[in-house]
């Protein structure tokens, strides 16, 4: 988006109102050059030719890379279509991106509000923040409960839908309240993806995500990103990336950009199947605590429908015991027992095995892939039947 630091020109302009599929397949592409590929291959370089004074976009591999430039432009075009005042920065992982915002924006004596039901690694970040003399407050995502602990905070961190519980909060309401109190707002957009939700349009200062998940969608790339509207705040994020060297490899960046081309196809298939699976699970007596924001009777549906265009590929539910959950996972044939989510191959796990989430022992986080819906639902229902004994 902001090319002042990259020296790269924008690719062919998209028509006004271009759809998500059109935008995804064209995002970040350079101007066409005869005999050159439409998406240039990864640039492997620790340094660049640099005679004289160090000017220009590419000087050293920890600072910039042409492959990052194209990917960052693509992400910016998805998170903030039609905006040229938004910058995107890519990182080696989602946690690298999260850490860059937290540690670049906060100082000793500041206060930050985190979700108490967010991503499992957030408590690790909390411990480090407190070591640096930063006050950490927490509240649940649901019911916009973070409003109750917002006064005097420097930064509000929102995760919606929350992982793994799938609660949703009103981003616009929280952002307006935070800004009125002088706080910055960051939204973890990992589960929704830019095709499901655009936090910057809802008032957030930062949209942050793990590109490891549905953005790249194949379970073979670790990646994170930060997009932001404020040049000064993003300069601090960029400086943090340089200091800690939390940069993606060029191959990972290229794979991510290639994968974004199919984002709309994958998201629509996975979201539709997730709703189909959730409806089927709703009929099973052994399933309790079923959550999917796309279900009309889900507690988060009303808020989600106001701010989300797609509801995500994750369904969560609880089976009666740890043993039943383990038998269910063992009985699945089309679903990998693995952590993470958003890939084209369905995965599921008993989330309590990690010990960091406030969930029951029988809690299942199910990530819906791109299999045929009928096959996937049949496999899940069969596994439920077989695990009942």
This prediction's pTM: 0.94
Tokens 């302009």 appear where?
13
Rounded CA gap, 75 and 87, in Å? 9
- The answer to whether the beta carbons of residues 179 and 171 sit under 8 Å apart is no
* 119, containing H or E segment: none
**pLDDT value at position 54?**
85
Q: Give the C-alpha separation, 42 to 61, whole Å.
A: 13
Cβ of 243: how many Cβ atoms within 10 Å? Answer: 12
Instruction: Check if the beta carbon of residue 347 is closer than 8 Å to that of residue 341.
Output: yes
- CA-nearest of 18, 191, 28, 20 to 118 is 191
Cβ contacts of 229-233, under 8 Å, gap ≥ 24 = 229/80, 229/85, 229/86, 229/200, 229/205, 230/205, 231/2, 231/85, 231/87, 233/104, 233/105, 233/184, 233/205, 233/206
Low-confidence spans in the chain with pLDDT less than 50: 1-9
Predicted local confidence at residue 10, as pLDDT: 56
Nearest CA-CA partner of 184 in 209, 158, 221, 211: 158
pLDDT in tens, 26-35: 999 999 999 9
Range 148-161 burial, b when 16+ CB lie within 10 A, else e: ebbeebbbbbbbbb
Sign of CA pseudo-dihedral 156, 158, 163, 165:
positive
pLDDT of residue 5: 38
Q: How many CB atoms lie within 10 A of CB 216?
A: 25
């Amino acid at each position: 988006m902001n090319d002042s630091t990259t020296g790269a020109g924008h690719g062919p302009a998209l028509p006004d109102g271009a759809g998500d599929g059109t935008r995804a397949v064209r995002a970040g592409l350079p101007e066409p050059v005869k005999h050159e590929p439409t998406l240039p291959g990864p640039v492997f370089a620790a340094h660049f030719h640099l005679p004289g004074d160090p000017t220009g976009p590419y000087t050293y591999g920890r600072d910039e890379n042409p492959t990052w430039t194209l990917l960052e432009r693509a992400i910016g075009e998805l998170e903030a279509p039609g905006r040229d005042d938004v910058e995107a920065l890519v990182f080696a992982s989602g946690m690298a991106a999260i850490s860059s915002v937290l540690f670049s924006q906060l100082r000793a004596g500041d206060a930050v509000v985190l979700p108490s039901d967010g991503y499992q690694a957030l408590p690790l970040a909390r411990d480090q923040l407190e070591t640096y003399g930063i006050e950490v407050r927490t509240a649940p995502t649901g019911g916009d409960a973070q409003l109750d602990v917002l006064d005097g905070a420097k930064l509000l961190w929102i995760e919606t839908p929350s992982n793994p519980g799938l609660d949703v909060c009103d981003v616009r309401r929280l952002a307006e309240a935070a800004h009125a109190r002088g706080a910055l707002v960051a939204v973890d957009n990992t589960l929704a993806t830019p095709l499901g939700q655009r936090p910057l349009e809802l008032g957030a200062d930062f949209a942050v995500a793990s590109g490891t998940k549905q953005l790249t969608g194949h379970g073979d790339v670790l990646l994170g990103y930060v997009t932001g509207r404020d040049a000064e705040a993003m300069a601090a994020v960029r400086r943090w990336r340089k200091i800690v060297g939390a940069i993606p490899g060029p191959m990972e960046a290229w794979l991510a950009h290639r994968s974004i081309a199919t984002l709309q196809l994958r998201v629509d298939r996975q979201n539709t199947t997730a709703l189909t699976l959730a409806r089927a699970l709703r009929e099973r007596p052994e399933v309790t605590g079923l959550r999917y924001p796309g279900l009309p009777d889900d507690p988060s549906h009303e808020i989600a429908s106001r701010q989300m265009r797609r509801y995500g590929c994750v369904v969560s539910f609880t089976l009666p015991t740890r043993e039943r959950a383990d038998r269910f996972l063992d009985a699945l044939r089309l679903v990998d027992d693995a952590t993470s989510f958003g890939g084209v191959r369905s995965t599921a796990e008993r989330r309590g095995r990690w010990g960091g989430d406030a969930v029951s022992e029988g809690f299942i986080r199910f990530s819906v892939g791109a299999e045929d819906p009928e096959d996937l639902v049949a496999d899940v229902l069969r596994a439920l039947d077989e695990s009942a004994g």
